[in-house]
């Protein structure tokens, strides 16, 4: 596997990290996760501006060369090097070490995770639980796709208990998101999902998915405040994963969910 490291294509095994790397020592980084389908970058322009917004929030020095064309070119370089046409792209931007932080320049890494399918639909037995040890931070900065230590702790809990995903709560004990993405509840033909202010990561894929749902005659969608007990009343439950697709949830404790409508929804919007 080859990775784009600051414009240079490098074998994954040969990539090194400087001990002065602020992303490594300080978590001083942001990332954008997107999808490539049949060699085309899906919603590339939206992703470019979302990444730029994240960099501005982190007050990074964005070079004039970081144009939309540059963004596309760096992704296509790593696709060509790995001969990939379908996959998940992670565009990772970090601030370089500098004695004067205000003047620090940026660097970036672009990687691709190849996939056989255009989009992924995960429909194997998948149990989810509500994580209650720590609440996520719903503040403005926390909505950027950046380092979130509390989620690393939650991920260990998830793996130790063999859950497919975990629902994360905000300080008001309402649903915010899951470890893997944004969560959706299907009940009586209505799709409910936490509104952005509840602690949702700013996501191009989520925004465009909700927009398509609202434009469709087949579904009614609501963005609102949701307490975790509502998942016990749901007919179906699924997670939208940035750069991948949909994960169908089949169980929460003793509650068993069907997946019929979720599969129809996936085929309508992702095939």
For residue 99, pLDDT over 70 is answered with: no
**Contact (CB, 8 A) for 200 and 226:** no
For residue 252, pLDDT over 80 is answered with: yes
For the chain, what's the residue count?
271
**Per-residue pLDDT tens over the stretch 130-146:** 999 999 989 887 789 99
Which residue, 248, 210, 247, 251, is CA-closest to 231?
251
Range in 95-104, 131-140, 152-161, 260-269 the model is least confident about? 95-104
CA-based angle 95:98:101, to the nearest 5?
A: 70
H or E element in which residue 255 lies: strand 255-256
Radius of gyration of the chain (CA): 19
Q: How confident is the model at residue 15 (pLDDT cuts 50, 70, 90)?
A: confident
Q: Which residues contact 270 (CB under 8 A, 6 or more apart)?
A: 118, 119, 121, 245, 246
Range in 88-102, 186-200, 227-241, 251-265 the model is least confident about? 88-102
Q: How much is the pLDDT for 98?
A: 73
Mean predicted confidence (pLDDT) in 22-36: 92
Q: Which of the two residues, 20 and 215, has the higher pLDDT score?
A: 215
**Contact (CB, 8 A) for 151 and 136:** yes
DSSP conformation class of 122: E
The phi-psi region of residue 220 (left if phi > 0; otherwise alpha if psi is between -120 and 50; otherwise beta) is beta
Mean predicted confidence (pLDDT) in 247-258: 97
Q: How confident is the model at residue 73 (pLDDT cuts 50, 70, 90)?
A: very high
Please tell me whether residue 218 adopts helix, strand or coil conformation.
Answer: coil
H or E element in which residue 22 lies: helix 22-26
For residue 78, pLDDT over 70 is answered with: yes
Question: What residue ranges define each of the domains in the chain, with the CATH number in brackets?
Answer: 2-117 (3.30.470.10), 121-270 (3.20.10.10)
Task: Indicate whether this model's pTM tops 0.85.
Answer: yes
Bridge partners (DSSP) of residue 245 are 120, 241
Q: How much is the pLDDT for 97?
A: 82
Average pLDDT, the chain: 94
The phi-psi region of residue 258 (left if phi > 0; otherwise alpha if psi is between -120 and 50; otherwise beta) is beta
């Amino acid at each position: 596997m080859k990775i784009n490291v600051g414009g240079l294509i490098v074998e994954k095994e040969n990539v090194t990290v400087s001990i002065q790397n602020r992303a490594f020592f300080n978590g001083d980084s942001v990332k954008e996760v997107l999808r490539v389908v049949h060699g085309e970058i899906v919603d590339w322009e939206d992703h470019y501006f979302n990444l730029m917004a994240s960099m501005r929030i982190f007050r990074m020095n964005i070079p004039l060369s970081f144009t939309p064309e540059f963004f596309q070119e760096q992704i296509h370089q790593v696709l060509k090097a790995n001969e990939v046409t379908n996959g998940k792209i992670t565009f990772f931007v970090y601030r370089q070490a500098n004695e004067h932080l205000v003047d620090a320049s940026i660097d970036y890494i672009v990687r691709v995770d190849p996939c056989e399918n255009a989009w992924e639909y995960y429909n194997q037995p998948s149990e989810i639980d509500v994580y209650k040890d720590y609440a996520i931070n719903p503040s403005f900065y926390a909505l950027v796709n950046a380092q979130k230590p509390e989620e690393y702790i939650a991920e260990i809990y998830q793996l130790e208990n063999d859950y497919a995903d975990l629902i994360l709560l905000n300080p008001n004990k309402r649903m915010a998101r899951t470890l893997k993405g944004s969560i959706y509840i299907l009940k009586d033909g209505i799709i409910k999902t936490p509104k952005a202010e509840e602690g949702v990561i700013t996501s191009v894929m989520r925004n465009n998915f909700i927009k398509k749902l609202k434009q469709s005659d087949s579904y009614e969608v609501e963005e609102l405040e949701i307490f975790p007990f509502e998942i016990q009343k749901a007919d179906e439950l699924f997670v939208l994963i940035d750069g991948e697709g949909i994960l169908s949830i089949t169980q929460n404790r003793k509650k068993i969910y069907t997946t019929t409508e979720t599969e129809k929804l996936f085929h309508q919007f992702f095939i």
